[in-house]
Structure 1
Amino acid sequence: MNPFKPNRPPAAALTARAEIPTPVVANGVATLRLYDVIDAWGGDWGVSAGEFNAAIDALPDGITEIRLLINSPGGEVWDGLAILNALRSHPARTVAVVEGIAASAASFVAAGCDEMVMSRNSEVYIHNAIGYASGDAEVMRAAAEDLERLDRNIASIYAEKSGKSIEYWLAEMPKDRFMTAEEALESGLADRIEGADAAPVARARFDMSMFARPRGDRSPQATLPELPSSTEPGDPNRKDDLVAYEDLTAGLRERLGVTETALTDEQLLAALDESLAERAEPDEAAAPAAEATPAAAPVADGSVVVEAGAFAELQRQAALGATAHATQQTQRREGIVQNAINEGRIAPASREHFLALLGKDEAGTVAALASFPKGTIPVAEIGHSESEAVTDNQRLAAKAGWGTTKKEA
């Protein structure tokens, strides 16, 4: 149902160009639209902070939620910040719903709300601040500093929403990134996609290794650190082991009744230990001699009771899975160090040192190895062997079976 269609006042009664009636309220929820450029002039130029915030001020008491529908190309940073802070200061919960695109200033207005919802097929666009200046070198330097300050200010809004660092977003903004609804959700800017059904936990798993190929992540931080990746140096990608390991963890989750798929190995093993500890053993001394059926021991919520042999098998499989996972980690880190040695970044004698560093801080050590120049450490014999000095005539003679000629000093 379109809340803006019934009983719409004439154009003169609108409090902002963003098609905001006076006001649209239902069951304590006020619905507003931001469907235009954000511009300090307002009027024919777009929606100003003054116009938009006047509509917010006109909302009646008792509003518990402001639902802001957005389809805007953005505009001026300071007016966008003023709109965002007016929404922040209102006691109602704010929900931004991106219906078309939340671009530029509209993107941080949406990200600054209590909840950011992407409609299906909607998009977000982020970029560095843009400005214009005219003057001497000092004026230009000051303008550049102003833009850098604004970039950091905007990045802080994205960082607060997503949980990622300001530096992460400062690296993403110069890319002029368009993000789909799914990418906005994955990046942490969006909280959910409206209209997208929640996918059930996958039960069946398939070995898709025959189709594997490097895909080239769009984001430099998109690689998961704990899983083998075809983009890592060396040869760490052992898909047969990985598929077997995933089958094992899926089986453990199914038997324990755990639906959360993001659990770490330690959390999954802890759930198994807890379930084993809570399993009540029969008390033979208290059992009556008659053939009466003993009362079943109470089972705590969230626990699953299974036959003792099945639990022993689960423990055995969990131990095997942990061992396989540790082996994968060791082999993958050895591949990283060996690749650095092959490229001449580090000496072979440093192998154990860098393996120990990878165990303590993998991301930092990988970054350090990548910063070392290639070819610093020779990886082949310097000079030429005697075989490399063989002339073309000698090669032809050897091929013809005429024997070889000793090289004289």
Structure 2
Amino acid sequence: MSAPALLRSSNGIQQISIESKLMSEQRQLFITGEINANSAIEFFKEVIYLNSEDGIKPISVFINSPGGEIDNGLLVYDAIIGSRAPIHMFCIGCAYSMGAVLFAAGKERYMLPHSKLMLHEPLLGERIGGNASSIKSISDSLLETKSMMNKLLAFHTGKTEKEIDKLTSYDHYFTAKEAVEMGLADGIKDFSAIMEGCV
């Protein structure tokens, strides 16, 4: 849990979380750690709230995530793409796997100089078991997911699906400079430049 911030109002001083203060006053959200059901629905609610407050002013999303569950990641993706207020993404450490897809989906996408992205094929989240028909069904579903993710990345990078398929055939890491060259990011900003654009 992060340290509390102090909120001064006509009712005196009260403590609120730093995340709440940044969200309400600066329209800044965070995607950190593994993407799962809890983090995805929390992000979804925050985007709804900020859109209800102002559907035009941009929302800044800072991501530092190793990735996570694809289905829950797609809920976050849909919120980013569907937000009326443009969402600007900032990679502040790493955005791996599903995290890289979410980062690439931003209206504007910037990376700190030493941050990294990583892409790879969808992975099975649990051990395979069952009969031959069940295993084939799992395999077919995984291939469909791979194709869908490749289409999303091709759309956001301007690359072909064939190029994306090659990039995701193994764990492919990108420095900030490489991410810009690949069309995964729009630019590199240092901490002070990010702060200037968020206040």
TM-score by length of 2: 0.81
Q: 1:225-245: CA deviations, max 9, x gaps?
A: xxxxxxxxxxxxxxxxxxxxx
CA drift of 1:57 comes to 2.0
Alpha-carbon RMSD across the aligned residues, in angstroms, is: 2.3
In 1, Cα distance between equivalents of 2:5 and 2:31? 19
In structure 2, the residue matched to 1:24 is 23
Identity of aligned residues (%): 25
Match status 1:34 vs 2:31: yes
In structure 2, the residue matched to 1:75 is 68
In 1, Cα distance between equivalents of 2:178 and 2:65? 19
Match of 2:46 among 45, 52, 55: 55
Match status 1:191 vs 2:186: yes
Match of 2:112 among 110, 115, 119: 119
In 2, Cα distance between equivalents of 1:129 and 1:121? 25
CA contact 1:23–1:55 (8 Å) conserved in 2: no
Q: 1:246-268: CA deviations, max 9, x gaps?
A: xxxxxxxxxxxxxxxxxxxxxxx
In 1, Cα distance between equivalents of 2:64 and 2:4? 17
Given the superposition, is the C-alpha separation of residues 5 and 155 from structure 1 closer, same or farther in structure 2, using an over 3 Å criterion?
A: farther
In 1, Cα distance between equivalents of 2:160 and 2:146? 13
Give 5+ residue unaligned stretches, structure 2. Answer: 8-13, 192-199
Given the superposition, is the C-alpha separation of residues 20 and 55 from structure 1 closer, same or farther in structure 2, using an over 3 Å criterion?
A: farther
Q: Hey, which of these two has a bigger chunk of strand by percent?
A: 2
Match status 1:165 vs 2:160: yes
Give 5+ residue unaligned stretches, structure 1. Answer: 197-409
Q: Which amino acid aligns with 1:182?
A: K
In structure 2, the residue matched to 1:151 is 146
CA contact 1:72–1:101 (8 Å) conserved in 2: yes
Match of 1:103 among 96, 101, 109: 96
In 1, Cα distance between equivalents of 2:6 and 2:66? 28
CA contact 2:5–2:21 (8 Å) conserved in 1: no
SS of corresponding position for 1:96: strand
CA contact 1:65–1:95 (8 Å) conserved in 2: yes
Q: 1:335-368: CA deviations, max 9, x gaps?
A: xxxxxxxxxxxxxxxxxxxxxxxxxxxxxxxxxx
Larger Rg: 1
Match status 1:178 vs 2:170: no
CA drift of 1:7 comes to 3.1
Q: How does 1:9-408 map to 2 (within 5 A)?
A: 20-21=19-20, 24-26=23-25, 30-40=27-37, 42=38, 47=39, 49-59=40-50, 60-63=52-55, 64-131=57-124, 132=126, 133-195=128-190
In 2, Cα distance between equivalents of 1:180 and 1:85? 26
Aligned length: 179
In 1, Cα distance between equivalents of 2:89 and 2:160? 22
SS of corresponding position for 2:20: coil
TM-score by length of 1: 0.41
CA drift of 1:195 comes to 2.9
